[in-house]
């Protein structure tokens, strides 16, 4: 049943199965009609906002995110300065450094709102899936180019994966020695060097792998 009117007033009673309508066609012509509940729903849908223009729940991602699936996020960061903390054995408190990070690619693995692990790879020139990868040149590295996160519980809030990654990177480094670059093995000397100089890409250790290799693996 169709009802055409410029203005409709509804009267709903708990004593009746039907709904009473008072309709005005815009020229002061008043009509009354009784409708079933289903007919009323049909009319309401005509005036409701169309489904294809209803508000969409779309999450905007940071422009550093270049790929993702249900449980992994691929994050690309260009060379930049970051503040990090280092506390080696015997140090009473962590020492802060503002160091040069190279171009980096991170694969953040997660389970809904919790970070499970982070793989870190350096690169010289981004060529998509053919990007040549290098070892993570920072301390706290585990096998498989994973960053050591210990027992820390890193949460992901509102799908902000980059913020979660930065929390991992900013966590205090505790490894006194590392093997991710040529020419340096002492974390303090490495951070002091990176505080005073641009990142030396010539010291990176090649993995002989491309981005597509680690994504497929």
- Which residues are registered as beta bridge partners of 67? 74
Which residue matches tokens 């503002």? 98
> Could you give the maximum distance between any two Cα atoms of the chain, in Å?
92
Residue 146 to residues 28, 80, 104, 120, Cα–Cα distance (Å): 76, 20, 13, 6
Task: State the average pLDDT for the chain.
Answer: 86
Give pLDDT tens digits for 7-27.
Answer: 667 777 666 777 777 777 666
Question: DSSP readout, the chain?
Answer: -----SEEEEE--TT-SSEEEEEE-SSS-EEEEEE-HHHHHHHHHHHSPPGGGSPP--PPPPTTEEEE-SSEEEEEE-SEEEEEEE--TT-SS-EEEEEEE-SEEEEEEEETTEEEEEEEEE-SS-BTBT-EEE---SSSB-GGGBBP-TT---B--TT-HHHHHHHHHHSPB--SB--SBSS--BHHHHHHHHHHS---GGGBPEEEEEHHHHHH-
Instruction: Write down the pTM of the prediction.
Output: 0.72
pLDDT at residue number 216 = 84
Give pLDDT tens digits for 78-118.
Answer: 999 999 999 988 888 999 999 999 999 999 999 989 999 99
């Amino acid at each position: 049943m169709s009802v055409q009117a410029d203005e409709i007033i509804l009267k709903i009673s708990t004593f009746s199965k039907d709904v009473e309508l008072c309709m005005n066609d815009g020229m002061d012509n008043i009509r009354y009609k009784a409708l079933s509940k289903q007919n009323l729903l049909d009319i309401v849908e005509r005036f409701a906002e169309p489904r294809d223009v209803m508000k969409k729940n779309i999450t905007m991602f940071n422009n550093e995110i270049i790929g993702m699936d249900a449980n992994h996020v691929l994050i690309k960061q260009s060379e930049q300065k970051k503040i990090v903390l280092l506390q080696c054995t015997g140090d009473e408190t962590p020492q802060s450094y503002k160091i040069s990070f190279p171009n980096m690619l991170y694969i953040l693995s997660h389970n809904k709102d919790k970070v499970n692990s982070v793989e870190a790879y350096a690169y010289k020139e981004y060529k998509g899936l053919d990007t040549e990868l290098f070892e993570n040149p920072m301390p706290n590295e585990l096998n498989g180019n994973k960053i050591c996160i210990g027992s820390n519980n890193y949460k992901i809030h509102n799908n902000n994966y980059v913020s979660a990654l930065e929390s991992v990177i900013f966590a205090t480094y505790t490894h006194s020695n590392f093997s991710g670059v040529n020419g340096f093995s002492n974390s303090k000397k490495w951070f002091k060097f990176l505080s005073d100089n641009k990142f030396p890409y010539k010291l990176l250790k090649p993995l002989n792998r491309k981005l597509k290799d680690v994504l497929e693996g």
